[in-house]
């Protein structure tokens, strides 16, 4: 086993260093991938105010069980964001949690 390692180390040490990789001609846009995703999402959203049902993606065809499952999922997803240090995440979470409460009160009565 040691002979194999010794021969590998000899073969690797004798190699010439690789040439530097050429930098691509195009430069990456400023900001990260997250900024690009957020910008893309903002362009898709209409300028008008959306109803709580639209925010929660609740359709009139959904049954009570489907609505309850969707609201449960959204609450779990955005409840974590309500305590985030990032103000954008916290603001979005507050909006979504208010929408979840509004839809829940509309379909299932007051809490």
pLDDT tens-digit profile of 60-95? 999 999 999 999 999 999 999 998 899 999 999 999
Residues, the chain:
111
Q: What is the pLDDT, as a whole number, of residue 108?
A: 87
40 has a pLDDT exceeding 70:
no
50 has a pLDDT exceeding 70:
yes
26 has a pLDDT exceeding 70:
no
Q: What is the mean pLDDT of residues 8-24?
A: 60
For the chain, the average pLDDT equals 76
The helix or strand, by DSSP H or E, that contains position 55, with its residue range, turns out to be helix 52-56
* Higher local confidence (pLDDT), 81 or 24: 81
Q: b/e map of 55-93 (b: 16 or more CB within 10 Å)?
A: bbebeeeeeeeebeebbeebeeebeebeeeeeeeeeeeb
Number of Cβ within a 10 Å radius of residue 47:
4
Give 68's contacts (C-beta < 8 A, 6+ positions apart): 108
């Amino acid at each position: 086993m040691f002979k194999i390692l010794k021969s590998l180390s000899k073969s690797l040490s004798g190699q010439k260093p690789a040439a530097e990789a050429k930098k691509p001609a195009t430069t990456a846009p400023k900001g990260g991938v997250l900024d690009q995703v957020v910008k893309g999402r903002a362009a898709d959203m209409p300028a008008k105010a959306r109803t709580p049902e639209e925010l929660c993606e609740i359709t009139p065809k959904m049954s009570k069980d489907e609505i309850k499952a969707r609201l449960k999922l959204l609450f779990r997803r955005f409840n974590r964001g309500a305590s985030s240090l990032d103000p954008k995440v916290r603001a979005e979470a507050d909006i979504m949690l208010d929408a979840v409460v509004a839809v829940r009160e509309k379909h299932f009565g007051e809490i």
